[in-house]
Structure 1
């Protein structure tokens, strides 16, 4: 579930937005009154949405967006003349007067996009470190030498063994090195 940080200079306005979001099933982490609080909260999270106004007590939304960790999208609520539509990724603008259904549909859209990014990040294959790759290469070399396998056959053997045992490729290479070095 997407976590939301609400940031308004007046705490009362922020609480009103929070209440609307919570009533509609969203998880609001906190309500902040300045950018420093938002940044502090955001650093404790992996990703999420910041709903804020054009200007907080210590910075404007553009400065806030620059300081947020990657993985955060921002919904800015302001007048049309304050809002700069420059197509910056991760920033969506909502004009005041704010309609609740516009806020909710925008949060839903941004939340859906974050969820897609999160899924994509999880499905991306993990890169092996240099040490892990050297370990795998040593295991392949031993298999090739002792069992007269080609590199492809050694790779497939490691792959099949790791899948059969439910272990990672690197753990399987370590296991083979441990068994064959004895």
Structure 2
């Protein structure tokens, strides 16, 4: 709060970079209510402001709020980046909306020129493991991408093993075989 007060005294509270940093700070301190209040009062928002709110909410049990923010962000014309992908998938994971998170991922990956990185594929693989084999297409794609990006990383094999073990059939194993 002292940092926030300093920004007000320095007449920086309307600066979008300072505002985004304050949102991030409040979120990481567990004060999503303060972060949200400040976010709503911002005169303008950028990708970092949206990222800070969307990523900060699920860390403290506000997954549904993160999903609503994600939808608002899209309505405001802010294109998603890899941080929003992660924040949205994390939010869905925290509130047990795995299928919804994977739907977001599927629809966004079709429309976004950005290539998902290893962290996104790890998150997708983990989410597919929690979905009990209901998302074999996305799970298989995640497996292929993990093996292509980092074939020597043991984490990939653990994630894939968990994902395939939770599936109802062996179809996913055959994709990588």
- Asked if Structure 1 and Structure 2 have the same fold, meaning a TM-score greater than 0.5 normalized by the shorter chain, the answer is no
TM-score range, shorter chain: under 0.3
Larger CA Rg, structure 1 vs 2: 1
TM-score (norm 1): 0.26
Query: Greater strand share, 1 or 2?
Result: 1
TM-score (norm 2): 0.26
Query: Greater helix share, 1 or 2?
Result: 2
